[in-house]
Structure 1
Amino acid sequence: ALPNIRAGFDRLTLGLEELKEGSLNGVLTVTVSPAFAAKWLLPRIERFQAACPDTDVRLDTSLKPVDFVAQRVDIGVRYGTGNWPGLAAEKMMDEEVFPVCSPALPRLKNPADLAAHTLIHDQSMDSSAGFPTWEAWLRKAGVSGISARRGLKINNSAAVLQAAIEGHGIALARSVMAHDDIAARRLVRLFPKISFSSALAYYVVYRADCAGLPRIVAFRDWLLKEATAR
């Protein structure tokens, strides 16, 4: 009976919040991955704070999915196929995957030149979930004879890009994560004619029964607007 009792209290708490919080005042708890926070959200969050100064954002950064009810999370951004039980999901951004390197490295002329460089692998997600890998990109590029398993393996997408910025090798970058670094010329995209779209995408997620709370509506709308402006 305890789950039902807890669910009843949660609904009661939510009802009280809706009665007293018909504004943007208060704390908004947002869950995102550490890499997404560092590379995409934090460089932009000041614009939300300027638009909604009465909303205090609390970031919960974790690689693992959190329990929105138990941890009192309001809204989040997740990377995947768009299906998370108990949560409403709206697609925010699709993503491409491509090699990047430091501008200081000699420019590679064709994908076969990767054989002479260290490959940096993003292992922040399991490849069995459809997460793009070097092996898949090389196959799309029509390159053989390169060991796709060798190189530097890192389980954080932001650290993957930082390793490439510092010249430690060629990273297989996620376009959303790498966008600002490429724009600032900290990274250079290689082989732009080769297009490889990820099967995964970014989604805004929240509890359906909380969708009408003003703070959640404001932050969701802001995220979607920022995604189209990038």
Structure 2
Amino acid sequence: MSSSPARIPPIQCLLTFEAVARLRSATLAADELSVTPSAVSHRLRQLEALVGLKLFSRQDFGLTTEGAHYLAQVRIGLQALRQLPGHSAQEKRLTRLRLAVPPTFSRQMLLPRLALFRSQFPDVELSMQVAIPLLDVTAEEADLEIRFGVGGYADVEELRLLDDEITPVCSPDYLRENGPFDGFDTLEQVQAAHLIRSPLEPWGTWFRHCGIALPEPDAGAQFNDAGLIFDAAASGFGVSLQRLKLGAAWLESGRVVRLSRLSVRSPNSHFICWKPGTLKRWECAAFVEWLREALR
């Protein structure tokens, strides 16, 4: 005898789950749905009992892995129910989400994963523009912005996405012609090399880690984009500081080689930022949650 089909949860439970996951607050969800906070709690308990999953992992309504996967399915289902009969897929209105992203982060960390977001949220139309690291400059207004720096921005709310570590690297040809550099952790080795400079990754971080008494270099090739720094090292310009996560493709391909087994925490991280109130829009909240999980 075949088993009975799984019971579909009540629509009010699914709407409540989506609202709480988006707003990260039972009180705000209750206001949006015009019910009491206790009704929200009851609906969430009912939903978890019906699906047999723990959907939230923390008091601040952070999703479990199962909850995040289920949320994506719930949003697809709710969006399908909102589609009016007689309207073709071409006539369906897309929800536009505007992103501002530094170029190397976009190419190395975001774009390789973006197909997963598009498959989970096909009704979100992404519009991307380049953001200038450290200066936090964008050409147009954006809903969400990836910033690179130390954080603590006064004008926006933020979530830390990606920390990284740095280590000195150069091309194999440069190493053969100018090495050896055993550890690249002494004054003599540093002074014997051409240092590739960038405000994105000051050499002072490595100098302090190694106890090298040198000021920040004021001569040599300089770049203000991480990808250009990595490409310059791969092209034999000299020695650069490589971010191990952001620059993994250069290391894995052998275009650059490490000069030290050690690495040190970079002072700068990548943050996703938004103006207060932005996450009331479900597509913005969905992208922030998705990207945090995708980079975890």
Matched with 2:293 is: 225
TM-score, normalised to structure 1, is 0.73
Note closer, same or farther for the CA distance 1:204–1:62 as it changes in structure 2 (3 Å cut).
Answer: closer
2:124–2:283 Cα contact (<8 Å) kept: yes
SS at 1:119 equivalent: coil
Displacement of 1:66 in angstroms is 4.8
The one-character-per-residue Cα deviations of 1:70-120 (angstroms, maximum 9, x if unpaired) are 944111211223222332111112122221222343352131433332111
Note closer, same or farther for the CA distance 1:50–1:197 as it changes in structure 2 (3 Å cut).
Answer: same
Does residue 143 of the first structure (1) align with residue 216 of the second (2)?
no
Displacement of 1:172 in angstroms is 1.4
Note closer, same or farther for the CA distance 1:66–1:167 as it changes in structure 2 (3 Å cut).
Answer: closer
Q: Structure 2 unaligned runs (5+)? A: 1-31, 33-77, 80-92
Matched with 1:174 is: 243
Matched with 1:100 is: 169
Note closer, same or farther for the CA distance 1:65–1:148 as it changes in structure 2 (3 Å cut).
Answer: closer
Does residue 57 of the first structure (1) align with residue 133 of the second (2)?
no
Equivalents in 1 of 2:98, 2:109: separation in Å? 17
1:32–1:59 Cα contact (<8 Å) kept: yes
Matched with 1:9 is: none
Does residue 123 of the first structure (1) align with residue 199 of the second (2)?
yes
Higher relative contact order (CA 8 A, sep 6+): 1
Matched with 1:211 is: 279
Equivalents in 2 of 1:192, 1:59: separation in Å? 37
Matched with 1:47 is: 116
Aligned residues: 198
Note closer, same or farther for the CA distance 1:175–1:46 as it changes in structure 2 (3 Å cut).
Answer: same
Q: Which amino acid aligns with 1:93?
A: L
Equivalents in 2 of 1:47, 1:91: separation in Å? 21
Equivalents in 2 of 1:144, 1:66: separation in Å? 34
Equivalents in 2 of 1:170, 1:44: separation in Å? 30
| Larger strand proportion of the pair | 1
2:196–2:238 Cα contact (<8 Å) kept: yes
Displacement of 1:202 in angstroms is 1.5
Compare CA radii of gyration and give the structure with the larger one: 2
1:55–1:215 Cα contact (<8 Å) kept: yes
Equivalents in 2 of 1:221, 1:136: separation in Å? 31
Displacement of 1:163 in angstroms is 0.6
Q: Which amino acid aligns with 2:136?
A: P
Displacement of 1:157 in angstroms is 1.4
Equivalents in 2 of 1:44, 1:190: separation in Å? 30
1:122–1:172 Cα contact (<8 Å) kept: no
Matched with 2:182 is: 109
Note closer, same or farther for the CA distance 1:213–1:178 as it changes in structure 2 (3 Å cut).
Answer: same
Q: Structure 1 unaligned runs (5+)? A: 1-17, 125-131
| Larger helix proportion of the pair | 2
Which deviates further from its counterpart, 170-179 or 143-152? 143-152
Matched with 1:200 is: 268
SS at 2:97 equivalent: strand
2:207–2:214 Cα contact (<8 Å) kept: no
Q: Which amino acid aligns with 2:268?
A: L
SS at 1:205 equivalent: strand
Note closer, same or farther for the CA distance 1:187–1:43 as it changes in structure 2 (3 Å cut).
Answer: farther
1:39–1:158 Cα contact (<8 Å) kept: no
Displacement of 1:165 in angstroms is 1.4
Equivalents in 1 of 2:202, 2:137: separation in Å? 26
